[in-house]
Every structure is written in C-alpha cells, then in structure tokens.
Amino acid sequence: MENEAVAPATRVVAPRASAGFEYTFPAIRGIQAGREYYVSMCPLRVIPKIFTFDEDELSAELRAQRILNKGRLPALSKYILDNPDDYVFSALTASVDGIMEFESHSPDGTGFRTGQLRIPMDSRFLINDGQHRRAAIELALKENPDLGEETIAVVFFHDAGLARSQQMFADLNRHAIRPARSIGVLYDHRDPSSQVVRVMAGRSRIFKGYVEMEKSNLSARSRMMFTLSALYYGTQSLLQGLTFKHEAAVDLAQSYWEEIDKALPEWAMVRERELSATEMRRDFIHSHGIALHALGRIGNSLFRESVAPSKWKKQLAPLKTVDWTRSNTDWEGRAIVGGRVSKSHQNVTLTVNYLRIHLGLELSPEEQRVEDAYLRGDA
C-alpha cells in the first residue's frame, strides 16, 4: 500500500479500498472493559455495501440479532426523506470479523487516540445495534442518492465470536427504555396533532395546569386530571382526516373539548377544588385515555357531518346524562376489563359504540361488527 498524508482531524474522509484491498476509516480509539474499540464516520452510501445482517434463516440461538422487521422500514425511510435538513440517527454498532489495524497520528498525547483504522475488505461487518437504521438508509438512498454523501457514526468492535456478539446485543438493549409518550408529544415539533395539543393544553381553561406533560401515567396522588398523551390521542382522533390550518385546528379542538367539559361537571369541580383529581380519577372514567379517545372519535364523525357549532353542540347535549362512574356496570367489558380501565382498540370501539347509542348516532359497519360480537359474548 502507498503511504498517504494523514487527513486533518476535522475532515471527514470516506472509507476507501486501498491497493491492499482494505477499507480505511478516520477513527478515534477508545477502551471499554479492557478492549479497544473505534468510532468513525461513514458515508451513508457505503453503509448498505459493507454492513450485513445476520442470516434470517438461522434459528435464534445461532444468530446475534433479531429478525429484521420490514414493516418498520417505510416509516424510518420516510422520516429521512421528509426531513433532509434535520433528521437525526444515532450511531450504528458493528462487530468486525477480521483484522483491525489502527495507525495513530502520534505515539502519545491526543494524537495517540486519533488515526486511521484499516480493515481488510474481505472482513465481515455484523451490525449489533442499528439494523433497522441501516435498512432504512438503504431504502432512502434508492429515492434520494444525494443523501449518500452524508455520514453516520459507527462504533467498531472486534468480533470475538457468536457468544460475545449475542451478549453485546443483549447488553445494548438491556436498559433501553422508550420515553413516555407524553414527553414525546411535548417535544415533537413535526406532528401537527402534537402542536395542536401543546397549544391547547397551555391556553384552554379546562386543561391549563391540569395536564401531566411528561409522564403517560398518573400517580394516585397526582393533582393532574389528564396526561398529555391521552389528550393527544383524543385530539388526534377528533381531527383525523380533517383539513384545517394550525390555528383553526386549535380553535376547533379547544371549542370541542370545552363543550365536552360542560357535560362533565366533575371536571369543573376539580378546577374549583370541590373534588380532588385523585377522587375523580378513582370514581369516574371520563378523564382516562379511553374516554378521551372515544369522545374524540364521536366529535370527528360530528364534524364530518357539519362543522357548524350550533349543530354538533346540540348533538352532544345527551352526554350530560351518561353515567361515567366506575360503578356503572355498563362499562364492564367496554371500558373496564377485570376492574381495570382498558385502552385496547376493541375497548375503545365498544366505548365509542356506547356513547353513539346514547347520543342516537348510527354505528359504522365495523363498529356494528364489534358491537354484535360483544352482545353475543364473543368480545
């Protein structure tokens, strides 16, 4: 191999095949658990070419990865393509079954940790963490090849065998915790429904100061009446398929929920401190996610028929006579299963059906199918 000048530390150098059939990556050397590992930046265009999946046809005990869930790929790829100026992907982690030769910039000091990582091209690169990101990148590149010059961080470990690779997969995922949906809504500035709910929660008299913005479950002593995630799903179902500009959507959603508030006196009692939020959540179901989701679906069908407030507000009037108490046996099997509020899709539909019937509204064919199954005892 011919000697080449070392690239400046601030310059990203694409991996290349040398005369000795090697990939050369600019890299930083580190130590974990007494083992060297290396961090580099790889152009997206080379990711599908050099990083492979574990074989899907092998049984689980002979693989070091889960089977690729291809159903996740379109959404991940769309995320990249729809947000070319601000998408974010975390680093891939890969094991290299082959020789890794690191040439540091200097024998000591900071230069000892930076340099060139050389890996023979016939080495096998196995992704330990990030297989869906890798597949989504490949899919996105087919639609937008210009993305190929962008980079993603890659952490290289030496492949110490199947057992070590399996342990790496287990360790990398052992403590991975998906953030609560509420904080995801709070921080999501792309999703229109998230934007509507955040504004509404901050300015509506019925929600301001009574929405848990970070957690998706309320503790027994919480003074909050709703979670942001529950309000999000309720409002998302309310506006589903409707086209409004942002401010109009906020106004319509806020108007709807404030009308619902008039039919649920316990909400006002909590705000006026005549009833604690704890007592309300304990004895009633109307502030729970399933009720908000169901009420959102009811509103969506009313809006599709007419957005005239005089009409849909009149149609909501019978809600005042709904018995929302947990002790109402009508909720068992619909909103409550085994004494606990259920948020399953089927239970949401059964709760919607109950409210539609109470309001004198027709059920859709799918809702009727679910209702018939419930009445037969099949649900």
Note the pLDDT of residue 68.
Answer: 79
Q: Which amino acid is at 19?
A: A
Note the pLDDT of residue 5.
Answer: 36
Note the pLDDT of residue 62.
Answer: 47
Note the pLDDT of residue 302.
Answer: 94
Strand order in the sheet with 35-43: 51-52, 124-129, 92-97, 151-158, 35-43, 22-32, 114-120, 101-104
Q: Is the pTM above the cut of 0.75?
A: no
Letter string b/e over residues 31-61, b meaning 16 or more CB atoms within 10 A of that residue's CB: eeeeeebbbbbbbbbbbbebbeebeeeeeee
Q: Is the dihedral of CA 297, 301, 302, 307 positive or negative?
A: positive
Note the pLDDT of residue 61.
Answer: 54
Task: Give me Rg for the CA atoms of the chain.
Answer: 28
CB 350 within 8 A of CB 285: no
Single out the residue of 125, 151, 123, 158 nearest to residue 14, CA to CA.
Answer: 151
Strands in 13-168 per DSSP E: 22-32, 35-43, 51-52, 92-97, 101-104, 114-120, 124-129, 151-158
Non-local (6+) Cβ contacts of 66 within 8 A are 131, 169
Note the pLDDT of residue 60.
Answer: 57
Can you tell me whether residue 358 is helix, strand or coil? helix
Q: Is 241 exposed, middle or buried (0-12, 13-18, 19+ CB in 10 A)?
A: exposed
Query: What are the residue ranges of helices labelled H in 21-130?
Result: 47-50, 73-82
pLDDT along the chain (379 residues), means of 10: 35 44 92 93 92 58 67 92 92 90 90 93 86 93 95 91 72 74 88 93 94 91 94 96 92 96 96 96 95 97 86 94 95 93 94 96 94 84
Torsion of CA 270, 273, 274, 277, to 10 degrees: 40
How many Cβ atoms are within 10 Å of 287's Cβ, its own excluded? 23
Note the pLDDT of residue 273.
Answer: 95
CA distance 286 to 280: 9
